Each structure stands twice: as C-alpha cells, then as structure tokens.
C-alpha cells in the first residue's frame, strides 16, 4: 500500500495524463474525420495539430513514442493520398 502522499501524487498525475491522452485521441479522431471527408484545406492544419498533440504526449511520457510515430505515420499517409488525388 502506498503512503498517503504518494497516493495523492499518483492520483494527480493520473488525472493529468488522462486529460492529455483523451485530448490527443480526440484531435487525432477529428483529423481522421476531416481526411475522410476529403477537405484538403482543413486537413493540413488538423493533421499538424494532431501531430503536435501526439509529440507533446510523448514528451510528457503519457504515450509511447512508437505509438505516436505509428499514429503520425498513418495520418501523413492519408494526407499524402488526399493530396495525390
């Protein structure tokens, strides 16, 4: 059983991590939705914002760097396919 102070600290960190993780997830989903609609002008800033959020989550140690790299790669592949068409 952790001490009371450690438990309080862990709870604060859990809530912060959860907020950042869900925000990043939401922004990635929004970018994917814009890409599916085929709106190139809206897609580029949405993808850039998603990549920034993923990088921030990696920096804070909330998600693994390979997880973020995979998500960024998939977003960029969809964006490049949209640009090509």
The length of the chain is: 85
pLDDT at 1 over 80: no
- What confidence tens digit (pLDDT) does each residue in 29-60 have? 999 999 999 999 999 999 999 999 999 999 99
Which class is domain 4-84?
Answer: mainly alpha
The predicted structure's pLDDT at residue 63: 96
Q: Which tokens sit at 30?
A: 């929004």
Q: Rounded to 10 degrees, what is the CA torsion of 59, 63, 68, 74?
A: -150
Q: From CA 3, how far away is CA 29, in angstroms rounded?
A: 38
- The whole-number average pLDDT for the span 51-79 is 97
Q: Would you place residue 2 in the very low, low, confident or very high pLDDT band (cuts 50, 70, 90)?
A: confident
Report d(CA 11, CA 51) in Å as an integer: 27
């Amino acid at each position: 059983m952790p001490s009371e102070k450690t438990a309080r600290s862990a709870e604060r960190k859990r809530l912060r991590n959860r907020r950042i993780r869900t925000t990043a997830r939401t922004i990635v989903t929004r970018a994917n939705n814009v890409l599916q609609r085929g709106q190139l002008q809206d897609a580029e800033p949405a993808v850039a914002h998603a990549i920034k959020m993923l990088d921030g989550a990696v920096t804070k140690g909330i998600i693994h760097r390979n997880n973020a790299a995979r998500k960024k790669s998939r977003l960029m592949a969809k964006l490049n396919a949209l640009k090509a068409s």
